[in-house]
Amino acid sequence: MQQAQILKRKVLQMESKDFDTLALEVFRYQAEHNSVYQKYLQCLQIQIDSVRSIEQIPFLPIEFFKTQTVVSGIFEPQTTFESSGTTGMNTSRHYVKDPKFYLKVAEQIFEKFYGKLSDFKILALLPSYLERTNSSLVYMVEHFIQKSGNPNSGFYLDNYEKLAEALRDDRREDRKENDNSDIQTSNIEYRNKKTLLIGVTFGLLDFAESGIDLSFLQNRDDLIVMETGGMKGRRKELLREEVHEILTNAFAVKSIHSEYGMTELLSQGYSYGEGIFDLPVSMRILLRDVNDPFTYINNARSGGINVIDLANIDSCSFVETKDLGSYQLSVNSEQLSVNS
């Protein structure tokens, strides 16, 4: 079995206690097989054998995904994920050797935090992403929709009336008198499903302010509203607190969930509310001093986010992002607060 495949198997089977050892193993693999990362390490005069802890691992600036082919090994990518950007802008490209591995990782992470995809009806409102053919988010959500097995799961673009109809509780159909046993069986099959409405932030706001009657959402506890991706230049930027207040009122939910992901990463973090993200076992954050990218800060301060994503076996697992955040340890998990 090739070394990359062995590492991927370890990522899928790992526990939190395995992280540091596996991260160092991935570092040594990528330092040898990723030519871009290798040259970066050489410029920093890093001796590979001298790296004994994850704090000593150099992180590749995320801009390299815009200007270089960041891959570990030699392969023909099965798909290429590309970040959003206006005409003429350089966009990040993530060359994916093994899309099935990406989907397996994404599915495993989601189900750890939320439960089986087959227990969900998934409604996606991702207009700006669907306009592109190489969005990693669309690729993931499309897989989730298929795994849900629910006939109402799907992408809804800006068809708000159809989306509102899909949001309606499936159980209402059970209350209708109907002698067709096949229809009744179908309704019973989907009656207890949870509903995930996942949307780009501006799309959810547009839907919330569309004038569609959403009063039927009152007194429901089976709806999760999840925002991701920001405004994408479509609307005026708002504070996260402002966005969440509008959405919680419109959809009658207690909190707005969020997904933390990006083109350059194959793992995702999830927030149950207030922008505090739980991280999967395959991901860890180190905060750097914004004035010195090679100095790490303590958990009490805000800093630049360096991500270790062990799912990035075929690219680079050590990415210096432009995001800012604060990092804290809770009793049960590692959490990240991302500055909006």
Kindly list the domain boundaries of the chain, sorted by start residue. Answer: 1-71+283-340, 98-165+192-278
Kindly indicate the confidence band of residue 236, based on its pLDDT and cuts at 50, 70 and 90: confident
For the segment 301-317, the average pLDDT, to the nearest whole number, is 95
pLDDT digits (tens, 9 = 90+) for 194-227: 999 999 999 999 999 999 999 999 988 899 999 9
Q: Which of 39-48, 166-175, 317-326 has the lowest mean pLDDT?
A: 166-175
pLDDT value at position 326? 84
pLDDT band at 234 (very low <50, low <70, confident <90, very high): low
Q: Is 275 helix (H, G, I), strand (E, B) or coil?
A: coil
Q: What per-residue confidence (pLDDT) applies to 13?
A: 98
* Range of weakest confidence among 25-29, 57-61, 111-115, 209-213: 209-213
Does residue 178 register a pLDDT over 80?
no
Distance CA(123)–CA(162), nearest Å, equals: 11
pLDDT above 50 (res 174): no
- Which tokens belong to 198? 């996942």
Structure confidence at residue 176 (pLDDT): 44
Q: Return all residues near 27 (Cβ < 8 A) that are at least 6 apart.
A: 51, 57, 317, 318
pLDDT tens-digit map of 282-291: 999 999 998 8
Q: Is the model's pTM score more than 0.85?
A: yes
Tell me the C-alpha distance between 327 and 64, whole Å: 25
Closest CA to 53 of 233, 286, 246, 223: 286
Q: What is the mean pLDDT of the chain?
A: 88
pLDDT in tens, 63-80: 999 999 999 999 999 999
Q: Which two tokens stand for residue 47?
A: 């001796």
- Cα 124 to Cα 131, 160, 226, 233, distances in angstroms: 14, 11, 10, 20
* Rounded Cα gap, residues 71 and 36, in angstroms: 8
- CATH code of domain 98-165+192-278: 3.40.50.980
List, for residues 251-270, the tens digit of each pLDDT value. Answer: 999 999 999 999 999 999 99
